[in-house]
Amino acid sequence: MRSKNIITACVLVLACSVLKASDTLKLKGLLYLDGSAVEISIVDGTISAIERMEESAGTRLPYIAPGLIDLQINGYSGVDFSDQELSTEDFIKATKALWKEGVTSYLPTVITADGEMLRNSFTLLASASKDPEIAASIPGFHLEGPYISPEKGFRGAHLEKYIRKPNWEEFAGLQEISGNRIRLVTVAPEMEGAIPFIHYCARSGVLVSLGHHNGSSEQIRQAADAGASLSTHLGNGCANMIDRHNNPLWPQLAEDRLSITIIADGFHLNQDELKCFYRMKGLERTILVSDALDLAGLPPGIYIRGEREVLLTPDVIKFPAENVLAGAATPLSKSVSNMMNFTRCSLPDAIRMASTNPARLLGLDDLGEISPGKRADLIIFHMTDEGLEILSTIVRGKIVYEK
Ligand SMILES: [Zn+2]
């Protein structure tokens, strides 16, 4: 396996990274959509042409696909995006680690906290995300909470003491501090005042997602009427014991106006759930997210979180004493191959769920596809038994990671 990797890397250098002029890049590879050999020309960060070519004999070209887009990620590589002392250096470190995993855009996700902490978080994120080295990879932020269900099970790991009713004035203040960059907010539709709050958010251009909630069928329908268009990590942020008829899962699956995000690590949802959710929502309305915690991307082992020991494996974070889940750690690239294995969907379909669909939902019209005129955010990779082996990541026409 090791020697194969070295050969692969050589092919990449020869076939994929032919720099011509300072601002022109030509890449050769197999187009992810149909496996045909292509040469992609990039000028000034934008795809200018895609030409079909004969695949050269004796070389195994890697695949080329649009870069992955993660709508929900709490931290990476030891950096927590809700850290009250988050520095620009931390943020750059996490972004570079995500580039290595093929993520070219992501929404740093801030979870439930008190007002002062949230204001501080968005002040820090707004400032750090302007850094020119990484700015192109941060299209905005995701606020998950604090307007979610305080019920045990539904609130998940969010701290009950900070959970509160939706408050448009508070949200508008956070939005201002963020530089109008909160693109996605996760709320519970059953909270008092949630429906008008959803209406205001949607009207202001913020994507509203239902999550960490125990909403009724009627409340979920009203939320969709008010403009909610997504469900956050469906099947998680949900109590273990629920009524088989009246629970929040069925109405969200049945509501065609709601897309869903899912954590396809094989732990947060089992393979049957992933397959069913995917089949019920269909390719167009299914989006993969990592929901990764700060420990993700670090070497596997025992770490201390708060005052508790947690076990980080390559796929997930657990409380080892009870052997229960403590959080997600699977990078989005692994979720792509997991979806292919679990549901038998094709590579183009899995990439669509991790790139094209989130780009469309966020209104990032220049991302998530490979065609002339689109921004050159691309990944070059081999498919291996372990999943996508990312060889190179390109953001706005610039190679930001090379194996
Ligand atoms: Zn959550």
pLDDT at 58: 53
- Find the 222 Cα to ligand 1 centroid distance in Å: 22
Segments in 112-162 forming alpha helices (H): 115-128
Crossing angle of helices 115-128 and 168-177, rounded to 10°: 30
Alpha-carbon radius of gyration of the chain: 21
For the segment 341-352, what is each residue's pLDDT rounded down to a tens digit?
A: 999 999 999 999
- Find the 237 Cα to ligand 1 centroid distance in Å: 6
Q: Return the closest-CA partner of residue 166 out of 143, 194, 188.
A: 194
- Find the 184 Cα to ligand 1 centroid distance in Å: 13
- Find the 144 Cα to ligand 1 centroid distance in Å: 7
Buried b (16+ CB within 10 A) or exposed e, 28-59: bbbbbbeeebbbbbbbebebbebeeeeeeeee
Give the chain's residues under pLDDT 50.
1-21
pLDDT at 3: 37
- Find the 209 Cα to ligand 1 centroid distance in Å: 11
Residues with CB under 5 A from ligand 1 (ion): 237
- Find the 185 Cα to ligand 1 centroid distance in Å: 11
DSSP states of 55-106 as a string? Answer: PPTT--PPEEEEPEEEEEE-EETTEETT-TT--HHHHHHHHHHHHHTTEEEE
Residue in this structure with the two tokens 């030891």, named with its chain if needed: 78
- Find the 189 Cα to ligand 1 centroid distance in Å: 15
Q: Return the closest-CA partner of residue 100 out of 341, 396, 318, 394.
A: 394
- Find the 179 Cα to ligand 1 centroid distance in Å: 24
- Find the 175 Cα to ligand 1 centroid distance in Å: 20
- Find the 387 Cα to ligand 1 centroid distance in Å: 25
- Find the 135 Cα to ligand 1 centroid distance in Å: 25
- Find the 328 Cα to ligand 1 centroid distance in Å: 10
- Find the 317 Cα to ligand 1 centroid distance in Å: 14
Global confidence as pTM: 0.94
- Find the 289 Cα to ligand 1 centroid distance in Å: 11
- Find the 265 Cα to ligand 1 centroid distance in Å: 15
- Find the 236 Cα to ligand 1 centroid distance in Å: 7
DSSP states of 256-293 as a string? Answer: TT-EEEE--SSSSS-HHHHHHHHHHH-GGGEEE---B-
- Find the 194 Cα to ligand 1 centroid distance in Å: 18
Residue in this structure with the two tokens 């692969």, named with its chain if needed: 8
- Find the 370 Cα to ligand 1 centroid distance in Å: 31
- Find the 200 Cα to ligand 1 centroid distance in Å: 22
Residue ranges and CATH numbers for the domains of the chain are 2-66+368-402 (2.30.40.10), 68-362 (3.20.20.140)
- Find the 280 Cα to ligand 1 centroid distance in Å: 21
pLDDT at 323: 81
- Find the 212 Cα to ligand 1 centroid distance in Å: 6
DSSP tally for the chain: helices H, then strands E: 11, 22
3 state SS of 218: helix
Please state, in angstroms and rounded to a whole number, the distance separating the CA atoms of residues 162 and 155: 11
3 state SS of 366: coil
CA 7 to chain centre: 31
Q: Report whether 369 contacts 66 (CB < 8 A).
A: yes
Please state, in angstroms and rounded to a whole number, the distance separating the CA atoms of residues 286 and 288: 7
- Find the 64 Cα to ligand 1 centroid distance in Å: 31
pLDDT at 214: 98
- Find the 67 Cα to ligand 1 centroid distance in Å: 24
- Find the 291 Cα to ligand 1 centroid distance in Å: 7
- Find the 234 Cα to ligand 1 centroid distance in Å: 9
- Find the 293 Cα to ligand 1 centroid distance in Å: 11
For the segment 290-337, what is each residue's pLDDT rounded down to a tens digit?
A: 999 999 999 999 999 877 899 999 889 998 888 888 899 999 999 999
